[in-house]
Chains A and B, each alone.
Chain A
Amino acid sequence: MIPLSYYLIFAAGLFSIGLFGVLARKNAIAILIGIELMLNAVNVNLVAFWRYRTPGMIAGQVFTVIVLAVAAAEVAVGLALFISIYRRRDTIAADQIDLMKW
């Protein structure tokens, strides 16, 4: 059987790639995809921990399903906000949405 640490290293890598995407990309959609990658890393972690630590309890699996559902809701609201901002400004580049600073 593959040891648990492999999954954890994979999840940590996925999380870091997602975080890099959020910090480095300018397009709001790309930022949102980065956040989705981070949430997927969370899901990998949860399922791996569930399988190796507490296979008898469903808490880990329930948590994963809830994370998936919440992520979908978040993206729905996010895209709606992006559309409303695109209609006003014709751009969703995060560095051009800078009406307010300091």
Chain B
Amino acid sequence: MLLNIEQFLPILPEVLLLILGLLILALQMSLPKPQHRNLGWVTAVGMGLVILFSLPARPGTEPMYVWGGMISYDWLSFTFKMLFIFAAGITALLAMDIEGLGTRGEFYVLMIASTIGMCFMASAADLVMLYLSIETVSIPLYILAGFFIFDNKSTEAGFKYLLFGALSSAIMLFGFTLLYGMAGTTRLPHIVISLLQNATSGLIPAYIGSLTLILVGFGFKISAVPFHFWAPDVYEGAPTPVAGFLSTASKAAGFAVLVRVLLWVFPAEIWAPLLAAISVATMTLGNLVALTQHNIKRMLAYSSIAHAGYALIGVVSFSALGLISVVYYLLAYLITNLAAFGIVSAVGRVTRSDDLTAYYGLSRRSPYLALALLVALLSLAGMPPLAGFVAKVFIFMAAIEAGLIWLAVMGVLNSIVGLYYYLTVLKYVYLYRSDGDTEPLPVSRSFTVAIAVLIAGILLVGTLFSPWFNWASTAAAALFN
């Protein structure tokens, strides 16, 4: 088979990422050790260039199936790819000055490998591709979570993440095989057609069974209750920038496959009630347990579980607006949560602690960092005029439009609970005193750049929402039109 250059357009971001990864490997081997920290700048700038060069390879409005039907070339996947690459670039900046992480070339290479997997995950249109891409994301992330091999907590995080991840992916895979057996094809868009053609009532239990098994795997990826047990432990133990990457990009990738598989393969009558129950359980448990946390990374982990619950409301709505609101929510959440984890790693690098007591009097040690934390946490809580507010409004709007008023009410009640623990942290930062709060807290340049970009993003997504909304609706139109 002859390969022509146009075939590579749909996977241009992945190809460019691969080149970037090889470049980092080569640089790591050729540069002297003291220079290795600069690989973070190379990665971050490289990610920016990948986004820039991928823009001409935008898909058309009609989805196209390329590479033997393995990949769907549409706006939904393109949007998610840009989000993942952005998150990876920011994570590289946040990791640069972390001791034992930023000076290791393999960290950047593994992160890029995982990002390539995420890009394929967002565009997978075949069960084989889907499984392969999910594992391409997970396996490097297991290593990244356990990256500090001399740290008890980090190795434990890697250990737990691997065991939970391998188990849930095996269960999900069993669901995939049932789906393949019933439909006789692995191509996602064909599965539903083939199932409708030979629909016999005897297949319905197997159909629901495979849906349940598949939801275990996806529920693990988005850390939805009851598959959330790994999240707090892994976020607490993993290096903080890695935890930020896990809670944003990896979760967004989970949502990308969740909406695609559910909308393409399964009828909404089967999954909507199930997912509504999961959504309520996820929000409620995440927010209530977050109230009792004393470690900021654990608190953010439970808050990120709760946010998965909010985003699920948009999926349950099962409408064009619902899907738009999911994409918008993930965009806002990705920027905001990366900012929160970025600030936590900037503080943790100096204070060597993730305990909430380390945040007492932060506003005196570093007023700008405290202000950034204020913006990030208020956006997570859903305060106007920040990104989180607009995103929540769209989610609740979609729920009400779909007649799910009780679900919207649950979401609003949960947001109020969430507000409490975010404000508690801000109370520590602004009103409490600690012994050492006269000495300034140094913030290196890479942190300043990353956090400034993210805070600007939070304000932009929150105030100028029409370009982002239009972007999200173009993406949603790929599945819903």
Show the binding face of A for B, using Cβ within 8 Å. 8, 15, 18-19, 22, 28, 31-32, 35, 38-39, 41-42, 45-46, 48-49, 53-54, 57, 59-60, 62-63, 66-67, 70, 73-74, 77-78, 80-82, 84-85, 87-89, 94, 97, 99-102
Contacts and interface: CB of A to CB of B under 8 A. Distances in A.
B329 interface: no
Interface of B: 127-128, 131-132, 135, 139, 142-143, 146, 149-150, 152-153, 155-160, 162-163, 166-167, 170-171, 173-174, 176-178, 180-181, 184-186, 232-233, 236-237, 289
A101 B289 CA distance: 12
State the majority secondary structure of interface residues on B. Answer: helix
A28 to B, nearest CB: 7
A77 B159 CA distance: 10
A42 B171 CA distance: 9
B181 A59 contact: no
Contacts, number: 119
Contacts of A60: 180, 186
A15 B171 CA distance: 9
Q: Which of B131, B142, B150, B162 has the most CB of A within 10 A?
A: B162
B180 A49 contact: yes
State the majority secondary structure of interface residues on A. Answer: helix
A34 to B, nearest CB: 8
A59 B156 contact: no
A85 B158 CA distance: 9
Nearest to A100: B233
A81 B153 CA distance: 12
B146 A78 contact: no
Nearest to B181: A49
Nearest to A45: B177
B297 to A, nearest CB: 10
B137 to A, nearest CB: 12
10 contacts: A15-B174, A28-B163, A45-B178, A45-B181, A59-B128, A80-B143, A81-B143, A100-B157, A100-B233, A100-B237
B160 A97 contact: yes
Given A46-B177, A84-B155, A100-B232, A35 B185 contact: no
